Structure 1
Amino acid sequence: MDNTSKRRSGAHATMEDVARLAGVSLKSVSRVINREPHVSPKLRAKVDAAIAALDYVPDMAARSLAGSRTFIIGLLIDNPSPNYTMKVQTGVYRACSEGQYHLRIDQIDSTQPNAGLEASLAAILRNSRCDGFVLTPPLTDNPVVLDFFDREGVDYVRIAPDIDPARAPGVIMDDFAAASVVAKHFWSLGHRRFGLVTGPESHGASHFRRKGFLHALEELGATEPVFEANGRFEFEGGIEAGLELLRANPRPTAIFATNDDSAAGLMVACSRSGLSVPRDVSVCGFDDSWVARSVWPYLTTIYQPIEEMGYFAAQLILDRERDRQKLVTLPFRLVVRDSVAEAPS
C-alpha cells in the first residue's frame, strides 16, 4: 500500500512506517522525534519529511514512558501587563508546538509570604511534572522561586534576569541601552525638560530603563531635574503618574513611560489636563505592543522582542546540551510614530 492509499484508509502511521519510508532505523526515528542532541541535519530532514508524508502523530504518553521526560514545559507568570503576558505565551507555545511539547501556564503571586509562595510552587510540581519552567519577571529575580527550584533540582530558564544573570540560562535585551536611545531621540528634537514614568520596584527591567534614560541625559548635558512618578506598568498607574508629572513647574515637554500600558495612561492624563500630544507634550513608551497602535496619536516606542524572548527561553529548555549559564541577547529598535515631535518653541 502506498502512502496516499494508507492515509485514505484511515490507518494510523507508526514509527515503523516512518523508519521504512525514511530508510533509517527505528532508533534514528526515535532520536529525531525526541529531539535528542547530536542528530545530523540530513537525518533530521529525512525523518521529518517522512513524518509529514505519513501524517504521523507521535504518541506523547509513549514518549514519556520511553524516557525521563514528560514533554511538558511550564510557564510561570506574574506580570501586570496583559500584552506582555500574551506575547510571552505566544512565543513559548510556538517553541512547544515545534518541539512537539505541551505547555502548562500558571499564575503565581510573587507578593505573598515566602511560605505561601513555596507552597504554590510545590503544588505546581505535585500536579504536573514538567521538563522545565520559563520564568517571567518579577519571578525571574525572586530568590524564593530560584532557591526552591535549585533545591528541588528543577530545570528553569529566566526571561530578563537582573540579579545574578549567570545563575541559570536566560534570555535578555539591553533595557539600559534602549532607554538611552529614547533620551537621545528626545534631545535631538530640542527637548530639555523631561519626565519619567517608572515601573514596579520588583521588575529589574524597570530599574535598567530608568538608569539608562537618566544616564544618557546626564551625558548629553541636561541641567533641568527629571520629574519621576511610578506608573506600575499599568494603564491606571500611567494616568496617575501622568497627572502628577504634568503638575510640575516647569512642566516637562517630553515624558518617557517605561512600558506602553503606562504610556497610554499618560496620554489620557495629558488629555484630561487640556494638553495635546505631541504639540504640548511628547510621549514615548516601551514594548511596541498592540497598545501602541490603539491610541491616538500612534505611540513612539521601543520594540521589545517579547514573543521572541519567550520562544528562545523555551528553546533553551528543549536544548538538553545547552550551556548552563547561557544568556541569549535579542535586539531592540526605536519605532518612531506620531506621539513625539520637536519641543514647543
Structure 2
Amino acid sequence: MNETDEKPKDDQQPTRRSTVTVHDVARLAGVSSMTVSRVVNGTKVREPLRVKVQAAVEELNYVPNVAARAARSGTNRIGVLFSNPRSSNLGDFLMGAFQQAGTDGTQIIVEPAAGHRHAVDAVRKLVEMGADGIILPPPLCDSLEALDVVWAAGIPALSFATADPRSHSSAVLIDDFEGARAMTRHLIELGHRDIAFVRGDPGHSPALRREEGFRAAMAEARVPIDRARLIDGMFTYRSGLDAGRQLLEVDPAERPSAVFASNDDMAAAITAVALGLGISVPGELSVAGFDDTPIASLMWPPLTTIHQPISEMASKAVEILGESVRHRRSGKEPLVRHHVCTFKLMHRGSTGPRA
C-alpha cells in the first residue's frame, strides 16, 4: 500500500478539541496517521502530501515538537500520574518506576492529577507533552474516559492496580479476590466467626473484588454474614474512624471479634478507635488490613495485612509499557499484557485467636 492509499475511512473534518491529535491532522489532510508522523518527524514523503499535512497542522494549531523530538531520538517517554501526593504508596511506586526507567533508558514524565480541576485533564496534559505511553493509577485505572483519551491519541495505556483490566490495554495488578479470601480464611482459622468487613471506594475496582473475596471465604466456611457487619468506607483514614466508631462504640456484647478493613489506612484508624476505647488489640479485637503500606509496620500493634508489591509492580509497568511503545514504533500489532504479581499475607501482631 502506498502513501496515497492510506486514507482513513472517516473523511469528515475533525471536531475541534482542546487536545489536537495526529489523527485529527490525518483526517483533515486526507492521509494516514503514519504519513503525518513521517512529516512531523522530518522523514521524506512526497511533496504534495507534505504540503497537505503541513497545511492541516497549521490550521489545527497542532504542536508536535516534543513528541517528534522523542520519536527521532528513540527515547521512550512514559507518562506517570499520581492522584494523591500524600499516598503512602507513592514513594514505593516512584522508586520502582525510576529504577526500571534507568535500566532501559526510559524517560519518566510525572504529572500530579491534583493540579487539575478534573483528573482526566492530567491525562490530556501528558498527551500534549508527548508521552509515548501513560500509566493510569487508581482510580483513573478504572476510568473509561481516561482510557479513551489515551487511545484517541494513538498511544498505549497501562492500568495500574486495577481489578478490572481491559482487553485492549495492558495492566499490572494483584489478585485482590484471592488476597481478601486468604485474609478472611486466616481470621476464620483463628476462630473468628463474627467478622466485620469495611468496604473501600466503590469507584475503584479492587474494593469490589476484595469484598467478593471476603464473601467467598465466609461462604466456604459456612459462616453467615450479618448485614450490619458490612460497613461502607472510602479507603481513607477518616472513613476508617467513622467505621470504627460505628462498630465499636456499642455495648461490648455487640462488638465483632474481628474487623477486616479493605485497606491499611482504614484498618489503622479502626485500631486507633479500639485502643481509644480501651479495647485490647488483638486480645479483644483482631484487626486486619490490605496493601501493606508503610503504616502497617509502623503502627502498634503492627498490622496483619496483604502485601501488595508496589515497587515491583511499578517496575513491571514501565517495562511492559516500554515494550508496547517499541512494538508500536516498529509497526507491529499493539502489545497487550495483563501481569499479575504475587501477594503475600503478612501475619503481624494485630490479629490473634478469638478470645
Q: Same-fold call, TM > 0.5?
A: yes
Match of 1:262 in 2: 266
Aligned-pair distance for 1:65? 6.1
Read off the aligned partner of 2:276 and give its amino acid letter: R
Distance 1:102 1:342, change over 3 A: same
Aligned-pair distance for 1:335? 0.8
Match of 2:184 in 1: 183
Please identify, of 139-148 and 216-225, the stretch whose mean Cα deviation from structure 2 is larger.
216-225
Read off the aligned partner of 1:197 and give its amino acid letter: V
Match of 1:317 in 2: 321
The 8 Å contact of residues 94 and 311 in structure 2, kept in 1 or not, is answered as yes
CA distance in 2, matches of 1:107, 1:333: 30
1:283 to 272, 283, 287: 287
2:143 is the alignment partner of 1:138: no
1:77 to 75, 79, 82: 82
Distance 1:80 1:97, change over 3 A: closer
The 8 Å contact of residues 70 and 76 in structure 2, kept in 1 or not, is answered as no
Aligned-pair distance for 1:324? 2.4
Cα deviation 1:249-298 (Å, max 9, x = unaligned): 62110111111111111111111222110011101111112111111111
The 8 Å contact of residues 100 and 318 in structure 2, kept in 1 or not, is answered as yes
The 8 Å contact of residues 300 and 339 in structure 1, kept in 2 or not, is answered as yes
SS in 1 for 2:254: coil
Please identify, of 244-253 and 93-102, the stretch whose mean Cα deviation from structure 2 is larger.
244-253
The 8 Å contact of residues 264 and 295 in structure 1, kept in 2 or not, is answered as yes
Mark the runs of 5 or more structure 2 residues left unpaired by the alignment. 1-65, 328-332
SS in 1 for 2:290: strand
The 8 Å contact of residues 76 and 105 in structure 2, kept in 1 or not, is answered as yes
Task: Work out the number of aligned pairs and report it.
Answer: 279
SS in 1 for 2:93: helix
The 8 Å contact of residues 79 and 110 in structure 2, kept in 1 or not, is answered as yes
The 8 Å contact of residues 84 and 114 in structure 2, kept in 1 or not, is answered as no
Aligned-pair distance for 1:80? 8.0
SS in 1 for 2:353: coil
The 8 Å contact of residues 81 and 261 in structure 1, kept in 2 or not, is answered as no
CA distance in 1, matches of 2:299, 2:286: 14
2:352 to 331, 341, 344: 341
Aligned-pair distance for 1:300? 0.8
Match of 1:236 in 2: 238
2:115 is the alignment partner of 1:104: no
CA distance in 2, matches of 1:202, 1:151: 23
Cα deviation 1:34-59 (Å, max 9, x = unaligned): xxxxxxxxxxxxxxxxxxxxxxxxxx
Distance 1:323 1:125, change over 3 A: closer
Distance 1:164 1:189, change over 3 A: closer
Match of 1:151 in 2: 152
Distance 1:215 1:228, change over 3 A: same
The 8 Å contact of residues 197 and 256 in structure 1, kept in 2 or not, is answered as yes
Distance 1:288 1:221, change over 3 A: same
Please identify, of 178-187 and 219-228, the stretch whose mean Cα deviation from structure 2 is larger.
219-228
The 8 Å contact of residues 73 and 102 in structure 1, kept in 2 or not, is answered as yes
CA distance in 2, matches of 1:171, 1:99: 18
Aligned-pair distance for 1:89? 1.6
The 8 Å contact of residues 111 and 122 in structure 2, kept in 1 or not, is answered as no
1:91 to 70, 93, 96: 96
The 8 Å contact of residues 162 and 204 in structure 2, kept in 1 or not, is answered as no
Provide the TM-score with structure 1 as the length reference: 0.75
State the Cα RMSD in Å: 2.5
Write out aligned runs for 1:115-264 (5 A).
Answer: 116-126=118-128, 128-225=129-226, 227-247=229-249, 250-264=254-268
Aligned-pair distance for 1:213? 0.7
The 8 Å contact of residues 243 and 273 in structure 1, kept in 2 or not, is answered as no
SS in 2 for 1:67: helix
Read off the aligned partner of 1:71 and give its amino acid letter: N
SS in 1 for 2:89: helix
Provide the TM-score with structure 2 as the length reference: 0.73
Distance 1:241 1:89, change over 3 A: same
CA distance in 2, matches of 1:210, 1:303: 17
Match of 1:329 in 2: 340
The 8 Å contact of residues 101 and 108 in structure 2, kept in 1 or not, is answered as yes
Cα deviation 1:157-196 (Å, max 9, x = unaligned): 1113344532211112110001001111111111010111
The 8 Å contact of residues 288 and 305 in structure 2, kept in 1 or not, is answered as yes
Aligned-pair distance for 1:79? 4.5
CA distance in 1, matches of 2:186, 2:291: 16
The 8 Å contact of residues 133 and 155 in structure 1, kept in 2 or not, is answered as yes
Mark the runs of 5 or more structure 1 residues left unpaired by the alignment. 1-60
The 8 Å contact of residues 183 and 216 in structure 1, kept in 2 or not, is answered as yes
Please identify, of 217-226 and 281-290, the stretch whose mean Cα deviation from structure 2 is larger.
217-226
